[in-house]
Structure formats: structure tokens, C-alpha cells
Amino acid sequence: MGTRAGIRNAQHGGVIKSLLFFFLFLIFIGGVVAAGAAYKIHEKITQPGPLAEEKIIWVKSGMGVNRIADLLVSEQAIESDIAFKIAVRLRKVQSSLQAGEYLIPAGASIEEIIVILSEGSPYLRRITFPEGITTQQALRVLESNDKLSGELTLSPYEGALLPETYAFVRGDERDEIVRRMQTAQQDLLDTLWQERAADLPIETKEQAVILASIVEKETGVDGERGKVASVFVNRLRRGMRLESDPTVIYGITAGEPLGRGLRVSELRGETPYNTYVIRGLPPTPIANPGEDAIAAVLNPTDTDYIFFVADGTGGHAFSKTLAEHNANVRKWRQIERERNSN
């Protein structure tokens, strides 16, 4: 009996060992398969993506992982939505994917795209307002930009905006851009006002903006703003009329292009902005001046000039006397005649 029991025990032990070996073999095979699958997944999410060139992709607010994956496939940024979803869950960043526009580089891998969407900064767009733009023209620029949102409810006065280039992200509100332009203008004016020259015939910041807007419309040449400002400052000091054509045009069109030359009757017309008729400054700015024009007015070039006229090169000829000015005017008219005859 003892011998048979021993044989049975030995046989039973052999079966257990075989089963144990079999299960260990299955675990090993499963590990190999899992390791192979993990390697394949890693390879899939780290290999270069299909984008041939960089591309802006807009992840809209409220998009979940599935919709983002579909978007990336439709934009040809990735080939497999499944690989993207697996990678997001492995990284546990489902709730970290942010709405916004993102610049995806050419060949970006799924892993790189996930980092961009979860840790990167949204793509910055830019909107430019040229110096000398009127407030109504600036508002039209904002209205026409389809990457901004919200209705315009603000109506700033003429000269209240600082024209320059502003960065924004898609979806920013139009009113917010207006507020930024107003704040930038006020901050700049506060700084430049503290640094102004002594004995200027300008008593307030508002008057500085008015004169700067005239300088801005008279010349777009960087090196001339200080000289043009000096002409108007010298005229104000002597009690002379400013006699600026852009002020006359503003009184006729509110700053829109006239599309023709001024008529003699318009130069003599009675409007609050006609500086051939009124003395001193007009009641408001005629545009939104830039930083250089404001700086030029508050620290004009030291000259004795009281006249200037176009010189045919895009700039102006300056003079101290009426005789010199008349000679410069004759030269300019000769240039105009020659251009019109060609």
C-alpha cells in the first residue's frame, strides 16, 4: 500500500509541476506579447506624423478626447485616432487637453502633439493698426476680423487708441482689444508727458494728441516728424494759423479719404477743423497718432521753420521765410506738372 501511495503522490506532483510550468509558460508568452504590444504602441506614438508642413489646428471649446482625435485625423496631423486615444489615457492627460489654436510642426509625432495640446501655449495671432488710422477705421478692422468674437459695444473718441500691432488668441473679444488700445495710449501718453520739453504751447495731454494727430497725417517719414512738429509748434507760439490740409479734409469726411485735391472753396470753408480759418488747434484729434508722432510733438526738433511743402521725394522741403516757402512751392508745382504730363 505504501508503495502505491508513493507512486500516486509522485504522479500527482508531476502533474502539478507540469501545470505550473504551463501557467508560467503562458505568463511568459503573455509578457512577451504584452512587451511586443507596448513596443508597437510606443513606436506608433513616437514616430514622425504625416504632416508635410506646419499647420494651425483649432481645438474648439468643449471638445473631448474622441472629437480631438477625429479632428487630428481629419487635419492629417495623425494617422490613427486609436493610437492617440491610447496615448492620452496612458499619459493620464484627458482633462489637460486645452481648447485653442495650436501650431503643429511638420512631422510632429502623436506624443509631441499631446504635449503641445496639454502643455503648450495657444497660437498667437496679430492684428495691425497703422499710425494715423481713425477710430472708426480701427473699429472696422476689428469687425472684419473673423478670428475675434463678440460685438463691439465701445465707441472710443478720436485719438484714444494707440495704433500698433497687437497679439491675440482666437476667440478674444473685440471690446477687449479696444480696451488694450486705450490703455496702451494712456500709458504711453502719461510717460511721454512727463518727459516733455519746457515752454511748449500745449497745456494738456489732450492738446498733445490733437497736434500729434496732425503731424501723423502730414508725414509718414520717420525722420521728419520732429521737423513737422517744430513747424506747428513755432506757428502756435507766433499765433499763426496751422494751415494743415489734413484738418480740412477731416472736417469734410471725418477722416475718410477725400479721393481728390482740396478745392479753394473748401480751404476757405467754415468748419471747426479748418485750420486755414480757425486759430489754434481743432476741437479733437483728426486720427490716432502713433508713439513717434506724440514724442515728436512733446519734444520737437529745435528749428526756426514755419513752412513746409512736399518736395517730390515723399518728404518735405522746410523753410523759415515766406519767400523761401514760395520758391519751394514753385518747385513742387513744377514736379506736379511734369508728372501729370507723363
State how far the Cα of 218 lies from the Cα of 225, in Å rounded to an integer. 9
Quote the pLDDT of residue 14. Answer: 53
Query: Which pLDDT belongs to residue 33?
Result: 42
Architecture of domain 55-119: 2-Layer Sandwich (3.30)
Look at residue 191 in the predicted model and tell me its pLDDT.
Answer: 96
Give the CA count within 13 Å in the CB-facing half-sphere of 329: 8
The CA distances from residue 72 to 26, 67, 92, 100, 335, in Å, are: 38, 9, 19, 14, 60
pLDDT of residue 66: 93
Residue 146 identity: D
Residues of the chain with pLDDT below 70 are 1-40, 342
pLDDT for 4 equals: 57
What DSSP letter does each residue of 126-147 carry, written as one string? EEE--TT--HHHHHHHHHH-TT
What is the secondary structure of 26-37 as a DSSP string? HHHHHHHHHHHH
CA 282, CA 271: separation in Å to the nearest integer?
9
The number of residues in the chain equals: 342
Domain residues of the chain, as ranges? Answer: 55-119, 125-183, 197-341
Mean of per-residue pLDDT scores for the chain: 88
CB-CB contact of 73 with 99 (8 Å):
no
Residue type, 157: Y
The pLDDT tens digits for 284-330 are 999 999 999 999 999 999 999 999 998 888 889 999 999 999 998 98
Between CA 321 and CA 324, with CA 322 as vertex, the angle to 5 degrees is 70
Instruction: Give the model confidence (pLDDT) of 241-254 as tens digits.
Output: 999 999 999 999 99
Report helix, strand or coil for 49: coil
Identify how many contiguous H helices and E strands the chain contains and give both numbers.
12, 6
pLDDT of residue 46: 86
- 3-state secondary structure at position 166: strand
Q: Is the pTM of this model over 0.75?
A: yes
